[in-house]
Structure 1
Amino acid sequence: MSSQKGFFEERWSMRYKQLQSYYEKHGDCLVSCPKGGTLGRWVKTQRKEYKDWKSGRHSNMTHRRAQLLVRLNFDWSPMSSGATYQKKKTWHAMFNELIEYKKINGHYHVQKNHDQRLYNWVHDQRNELKAMKKKETTTMNNERKRKLDKISFDWTLKESTGCKLQSVWEGNMAEYRKYK
């Protein structure tokens, strides 16, 4: 029995580490079930286990596990806490940060080493559009797409080729020469 308990504890720890990585990237633990795959289902299970544990029913939740999740600002009931509203607010805040980034840098091609959080958000927008086109569950909607289209957001940027970044640099250099 103890080897089985060790297996489940090891599996829980593995998922917790995945959630830590998600938290570091996104700043929250709001992993959606369809999009988040097994991690999304695990997060949902933790909420159920916690609810059962708090009400005295049989549960795999422990005080130690609950404390570990609390360290990541785990939201036990995201619908009632307004987390969904907060996510919407965050999207608009990041959109505004992107506009500010363009004002300062002259382009929307956020570098990973410049602003990790904004870089991740920009990358996520491209992935969300792909999911939307495939009719998958996504946070992208027509309103958000229109807003990004309106500012000439580049949906297809591939950093590995460097081609688009090169043309942006050349365009900025031409503008600089005109200004001079």
Structure 2
Amino acid sequence: MRFFLNILGFQTAWWACIAGVGHGFEIPALLYGLLLAGLHLRFAHQPRQEAKLAVLALIVGIAADTLLQMASVIGFYGWALGPLSPFWLWLLWALFAMTLNTSLAFLQNHTLWLSVAAGLVFGPLTYYAGAQLGAASFDNTASHVGALAITWGLALPVLVYVAKHFFTPPKGIS
């Protein structure tokens, strides 16, 4: 049940943030995402570990998305702190980290090349979808798609590796 709630929670938060930015409901979307993060931590078997992983993913995400934005690969809409990526993206990175030991835990049991491949494919698709739904502006050129693919082709396996080796609950606990 936790598995499905984790998937559902992340997906609804993604849609809420994207639609929230695109349609003027950014604050309710952020509050919804924060509520989900709080509930996840409340019911996690190791909330400190989950929180630490979320903070690490947050740092990776802020750096990656800010660099992508500064390189004009993608332009994000929404509230931001100076030139950094917007707050809704920060929240999505933290929530994404909270899937790594639950709904995406299967990635930890496979070669890191699966995470590389998933990042190469699904990273750009997710950003493209977000732009199509009004949360960002994106030039669908090979170089921009390539930059997103490389970013996620590196970020996802790093986060999966770190989750597996430093932030995974002991066997038998999920």
Scaled by the length of structure 1, the TM-score of the pair is 0.28
Higher relative contact order (CA 8 A, sep 6+): 2
Q: Higher Cα Rg: structure 1 or 2? A: 1
Scaled by the length of structure 2, the TM-score of the pair is 0.28
